């Protein structure tokens, strides 16, 4: 299909998503960006975010990506991430506990690692909420 392109989201452990897509949306270091067929070559970092993939059938596939890189070349989009999770992988209670710990630690420290943990917890909970999880 002329308006589609191969997409893959991979971590060192596994391939989470591999499909023909019509659009991929994620947050790069310069803000949100969307990739569609024919996108110019691109290499960029990915900030913690929910990556949203629209497949050629119109289905939305989503994953929490905690950091990584996106590479676009020859009409192929690849996301390479150290850590990424599908909605079924998210333990909501654990993510809420991590969020609470990070918020408490951040009250007493300006540590960049704590801020990163806070962003990761928010991304996990955002993804879980979009797939019907009850967030308290």
How far apart are alpha carbons 9 and 16 in whole angstroms?
6
How far apart are alpha carbons 15 and 8 in whole angstroms?
7
pLDDT tens digits, one per residue of 81-115: 999 999 988 888 887 887 787 777 777 766 666 67
- Which contiguous run of DSSP H or E holds residue 90? none
How far apart are alpha carbons 78 and 33 in whole angstroms?
14
Task: For domain 5-87, give its CATH number from 3.40.50.300, 2.60.15.10, 3.40.50.720, 3.40.50.620.
Answer: 2.60.15.10
- Which contiguous run of DSSP H or E holds residue 31? strand 31-36
What is the model's pTM?
A: 0.80
How far apart are alpha carbons 95 and 101 in whole angstroms?
10
How far apart are alpha carbons 122 and 7 in whole angstroms?
25
pLDDT tens digits, one per residue of 49-73: 999 999 999 999 999 999 899 999 9
């Amino acid at each position: 299909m002329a308006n589609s392109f191969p997409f893959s989201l991979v971590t060192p452990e596994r391939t989470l998503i591999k499909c023909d897509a019509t659009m991929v949306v994620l947050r790069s270091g310069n803000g949100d960006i969307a990739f569609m067929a024919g996108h110019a070559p691109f290499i960029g970092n990915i900030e913690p975010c929910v990556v949203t993939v629209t497949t050629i059938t119109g289905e939305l596939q989503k994953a929490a990506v905690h950091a990584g890189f996106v590479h676009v070349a020859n009409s192929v989009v690849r996301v390479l991430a150290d850590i990424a999770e599908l909605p079924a992988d998210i333990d909501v209670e654990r993510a809420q506990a991590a969020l609470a710990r990070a918020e408490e630690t951040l009250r007493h420290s300006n540590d960049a690692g704590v801020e990163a943990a806070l962003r990761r917890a928010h991304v996990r909970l955002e993804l879980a909420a979009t797939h019907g999880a009850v967030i308290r």
